[in-house]
Homo-oligomer: A and B are copies of this chain.
Amino acid sequence: MAKFKLDETDHQILDMLIENTRTPFTDIAKKLLISAGTVHVRVKKMEEAGIIIGSSLTLDYKKLGYAFIAYVGVFLKNTSQTKFVLERINEIPFVTVAHVTTGKFNVFCKIRAKNTQHAKDIIFLLDDIEGVYRTETMISLEESINDKKRLMHSIFKDM
C-alpha cells in the first residue's frame, strides 16, 4: 500500500478521466500536447500499479425510485461478534457501505432505499442480526457531494 509517484501529466490524465471515463485518449493527448500513445501507456501503467482500480457509471438513483438515504449506527452486544455481524450486514441488499468504527457505534453503515417504509424493512433486518444490540438511524434530508475531482485536486496539491 505504498504511496505511488504520479507526475503532473498523470494528474491531468486522471483529472479528465475522472470527469468522464470515456474521454477519448486523442482528446486528452491534444489537450496535454502529447501523443495518444503516451496517454495509453500511462493509463495502462496506472492500471497495472493498481492506482486505477476500474471505472463505473454514475447513475441517478432518484430517477430509479431510490431517493432515500440513511446512515445506521449499529451497537453490538459484544465486539467479538464484529466479524460475524459485518458478514451478515453485507448480505443485506441496499446496504451500500459498512464500516467498523471507533467512537459511538461499533459498526456504521449507509443504506439506500425507496422510501421510509422500505428503509424500515432494511433497518429491521439489521436489528434482527444475532449479536446486534440496537441501532440508531440518521435519515439524510439533503446530500451534498464534494466531487471526486475536487478531492483529487486536493490530493495532487499535497503530493
Q: List residues of A whose CB falls within 8 A of some B CB.
A: 1-4, 6, 14, 17-22, 49-67, 69, 71, 73, 86, 89-90, 93-105, 108, 112, 114, 136-146, 148, 150-155, 158-159
Contacts and interface: CB of A to CB of B under 8 A. Distances in A.
Nearest to A118: B158
A103 to B, nearest CB: 4
A65 to B, nearest CB: 4
A59 B28 CA distance: 19
Contact of A69 (B54, B67, B99, B141): B99
A150 to B, nearest CB: 7
Contact of A53 (B60, B97, B141): B60
Kindly list the 8 A-B residue pairs having the minimum CB-CB distance in the complex, ordered from nearest.
A93-B154, A103-B138, A21-B55, A3-B65, A100-B142, A99-B140, A101-B138, A21-B21
A96 B154 CA distance: 11
B143 A63 contact: no
Contact of A95 (B49, B89, B103, B146): B146
Copies of this chain present in the complex amount to: 2
Contact of A94 (B20, B22, B151): B151
Given A55-B56, A102-B141, 17 more contacts: A1-B62, A18-B57, A20-B54, A50-B63, A52-B58, A54-B57, A55-B55, A55-B58, A65-B159, A69-B99, A73-B104, A89-B144, A94-B151, A97-B143, A97-B146, A98-B143, A102-B139
A150 B57 contact: no
